[in-house]
Homo-oligomer: A and B are copies of this chain.
């Protein structure tokens, strides 16, 4: 089907939300760990983390506060404390990770509600997810409110990474498949991932070559 602006607008908003959330392709699935000034922890599933650069090591992510303002905990905590964790989600963690998207009040920590275990690292404020094999600690570097739809683009500096030795090859490449991480499609679907094929650095005078 070919959908132009008119055809898209003709569909009701939930249909459009499902479609538009899926068309960018498969997304990374991460849990964002934060804490507020009263020491209350928060955990939120986010599928918009994006690589920004390796030197300095930066990640970005999009946060979309709900229209009613009830899901601003993650954003507020990051702005208040300047720290957050990014924790990769494995196949086993999917039900609990998805459950963090329920609209718990500020009094309820998603750690308690889902049974995921907070892990603390000396010298850092934000909670990590003990069950996750890939945990990243970040400091807030920049906050860009996007004027067109009220979303926020957060840029974080990577301060530390926990990852199993056997997932990192001698040249620094990572086998996310070995960690059994999932990928997401749209608002609510999680996919397991098959084995990967690596390609040699592409050159104009050579054909593509798997290695």
- Residues of A at the B interface (CB closer than 8 Å) are 1-5, 8, 11, 13-30, 47-60, 62, 64, 86, 88, 94-96, 98-105, 108, 113, 134, 136, 141-142, 144, 146-149, 151, 153, 155, 158-165, 168, 171-177, 181-183, 185-204, 206-208, 210
Cα distance, A8 to B196, chains bound together (Å): 25
Having A25-B29, A102-B202, one finds 17 other A-B pairs with CB under 8 Å, namely A1-B168, A8-B57, A16-B54, A20-B54, A24-B50, A25-B30, A25-B134, A26-B29, A27-B51, A52-B62, A53-B148, A56-B148, A94-B199, A98-B199, A98-B208, A142-B147, A185-B196
Q: Lowest 8 A-B CB distances belong to which pairs?
A: A25-B28, A18-B172, A15-B172, A22-B174, A102-B202, A95-B208, A20-B54, A26-B183
User: Which of A21, A148, A172 is packed against the most chain B CB atoms within 10 Å?
Assistant: A172
Instruction: Please tell me how many copies of the chain the complex holds.
Output: 2
Closest chain B residue, CB of each to CB of A142: B148
Q: Determine whether the beta carbon of A99 is less than 8 Å from that of B208.
A: yes
Cα distance, A121 to B171, chains bound together (Å): 43
